[in-house]
Structure 1
Amino acid sequence: MKKWLFAVLFGSVLVLGACGNDDNNDNGATNNTGDNGGETASAAEDLFEANCAACHGADLSGAAGPNLQKVGADHSADDIKNIILNGQGGMPAQGNRVSDDEAQQIADWLAAKK
């Protein structure tokens, strides 16, 4: 049951991520200077908002996609990144919408949600 719920959750995340519009990121660059954890988190939140929030909700509570508020309790950053890029369950792959680095930023941020 837990695997099924996870698959549905991340499937929904990917589907909703496909609905996002990233007009503010013309060249794939992010605001991650590496010198301030707040800026890194902010960049990840911005990426999530632009690519994932339509399905998972701006507060991670879920919408068409599953709730991600405590996703880090069940999945590592590597697992989450893999799901973002390759899809799982009902969530389509997002590798064509987000770069590898952006997926890593989102995954690291979500993995901290426990």
Structure 2
Amino acid sequence: MKRNAIVPYFLIMVMGLVLVFFLSVKGVGDSKEIAQGDDDTEQVVFDPEEKSKSCISCHGDNLEGKGNIPGLVNTELSKDELIDVLKNGRNGDAGMMPGGLVAGNEEAMAEWILTLE
């Protein structure tokens, strides 16, 4: 008596389709829970002073400038100019300032820089 070799493959395919169906239903249920959000999640607040630690390598320990790189203390740039530099960067005589280092938080960082004395 010969057995049909396609039967095991057919059974595996049916079990796979059933599994995909049930996982899809489970995913739909979970998506509603995920969409509601989790109230226990902690909001991450941008801290310009903490972020400024990465500025020290170019602008000096006190952010007063280093070599031909300008300082951030008592800057002559306006808030809008600072936001532009933070977003787009700057190439100049003093070197290159890369943009996007504080993506999405440029305004908060610019306000903080203007408070430096």
TM-score by length of 2: 0.50
| Mapping of residues 1-114 of structure 1, within 5 Å | 30-32=44-46, 43-50=47-54, 52-64=55-67, 65-71=69-75, 74-88=76-90, 89=92, 90-95=95-100, 97-101=101-105, 103-113=106-116
Larger radius of gyration: 2
> How far apart are 1:112 and its partner, in Å?
2.3
Q: Tell me how far 1:57 sits from its aligned partner.
A: 1.7
CA RMSD of aligned residues (A): 2.2
Q: How many residues align?
A: 71
Percent sequence identity is 28
Q: Which runs of 5+ in 1 are unaligned?
A: 1-28, 33-42
1:63 is paired with a residue of what secondary structure? Answer: coil
Q: Where is the strand percentage greater, Structure 1 or Structure 2?
A: 2
Residues 52-87 of structure 1: CA distance to partner in whole angstroms, max 9, x if unpaired? Answer: 11100231122252222111xx22222111112212
Answer 1 or 2: higher relative contact order, Cα 8 Å, separation at least 6: 1
Segments of structure 2 that go 5 or more residues without pairing to the other structure are 1-42
Cα shift at 1:91: 2.3
